[in-house]
Amino acid sequence: MIYSVTKKYCSLKTCRIRISIFLLFNGFVLSLSASPKHAADTNYPSYHGLVMAGYQGWFHKPEKGMMYPDEKNVRIDMWPDVSEYPETYPTGLKHADGSTARFFCSSDESTVDLHFRWMKEYGIDGVFMQRFFNAARKDNTKGNAVISHAFKAASKYNRAIGIMYDLSGLKAHGEDCSSLIEDWKFLVDSLKVTNQDGAHTYIFHNGKPLVTIWGVGFPDRPYDIRDIGLKRFIDFLCNDPEYGGCSIMLGVPTYWRELGADCVHDPYLHEIIREADLIMPWMVQRFTPLLHNDMDRYRDVILRDMSWCKENGIEYVPCVTPGFSWHNLSRYAFPDDVKPSGSIPRQGGRFYWQQISTAINCGVRMLYIAMFDEVNEGTAIFKCTDNPPVGKNIQFVGMDNMPSDHYLWLTGEASLILKGKKSLTFTLSKRPH
């Protein structure tokens, strides 16, 4: 009797062991297949300690090769310093000395390579590539060349890189974020964004590839955040067994927490935010050096935002910008309301450094710079010139007699401070000679 019971027990035990082995094996297989499309490793496993910038990459030469043939076509407020570009193209504009003004093309591989080389030279950690909703449509491949070149250059120069979906262009009716699901599959499968050749530098956070969705909660957009499949897209990015396993960062309005001012008055936004890992409030045009103690207001917004995020288990990324200007763009977009040039002045980098030092002093662990190459709104940090084209109606923001690389250098200084390699200073850093 004892023998039979023991035998029965052993048989049962053996069965349980086999079941356990089976489950463990299958769990292992499932874990292997959880995100087989993404690289298992990256040189940038976390956003912590990084200074990242937005990268537009949308300056493309026309088929005939003439960029900005006349003043009517100028929609940018800063002019790049093109002295280092291997390839440039003529414009119909002239410098003060009568020479032809030239411009680069974003889709040239040499252009993208130069930009990423600058990032490495000045210690800027990397960029988020803007992926606009229009570019994500199946019938639109515009911008794919820029992304391909960027990921190649990021690997070459060991710079962090990520995809930022910008919902600009999404219609009010007839479409939603489902097309972004297919686009993410395309980027992962065809462009290998999360598993690039060479060094893997796609930015991760919490050990997972970071995908940003920008344009959530702005009242001037035609779409309703309740009706565009945001949760479905986020769920796909987080949980899909092949293309998921991602972290999420949302680009939201400055006053997202209060649901006021520049933000939709819909508490559903907070519900969406709680689905994310990080948020990045858009602060361009929200603060200015022309108002007394505006940096105190900037500080208070950051501290209160960080407190809300801590209570809700979300991390916070402040937005920093060197200035703002859209005089030339407004001539085209708002002919009845043309904006002044340099409406938010740079002050030779002083305004930029005030934001950087204020944010870091608040205890932030990451920074988002708006933008690397955005000359349309005068927010660019890459090399620009004090010698732009001249004309009757066009005006450009200059560098305030600072070197063309002034903002690249300041951004690199911010990166060193954020990493604890230099002490924080509240006065504008002085460049050693």
**pLDDT tens-place string over residues 243-299:** 999 999 999 999 999 999 999 999 999 999 999 999 999 999 999 999 988 999 999
pLDDT, one tens digit per residue, over 57-74 is 999 988 777 899 999 999
The answer to whether residue 236 scores a pLDDT higher than 90 is yes
Confidence of residue 35 (pLDDT cuts 50, 70, 90): low
Mean pLDDT value across residues 13-22: 47
pLDDT band for position 141 (50/70/90)? low
Measured distance CA(381)–CA(141) in Å, rounded: 27
Asked, for residue 12, whether it belongs to a domain, the answer is no
Of the CA atoms within 13 Å of residue 110, those in its CB half-sphere come to 8
Give domain status of residue 137, yes or no.
yes
Which residues, at least 6 apart from 316, have a Cβ–Cβ distance to it below 8 Å? 278, 279, 302, 305, 306, 309, 364
Taking only the tens place, the pLDDT of each residue in 93-130 is 999 999 999 999 999 999 999 999 999 999 999 999 99
Residue 425 in any domain: the answer is no
* CA of residue 180 relative to chain centroid, distance: 17
Q: Could you tell me the CATH number of the domain that includes residue 337?
A: 3.20.20.80
* Domain presence at residue 18: no
Residue 32 within any structural domain of the chain: no
Phi/psi at 319 (5° precision): -100, 135
Token pair for 371: 């933008």
Comparing C-alpha atoms, which of 64, 103, 187 is closest to residue 375?
103
Task: Specify if 22 maps to a domain.
Answer: no
Q: What is the pLDDT of residue 80?
A: 98
Domain span at residue 168 reads 50-418
Phi, psi angles (nearest 5°) of residue 254 = -55, -45
Asked if residue 268 belongs to a domain, the reply is yes
CA distance linking residue 298 with residue 318, whole number of Å: 10
Average pLDDT value over all residues in the chain = 91
pLDDT at 6 over 50: no
Does 83 reside within a domain? yes
Do residues 284 and 377 lie in contact, with contact meaning Cβ atoms separated by under 8 Å?
yes
Supply the pTM of this predicted model.
0.91
Total domain count, the chain? 1
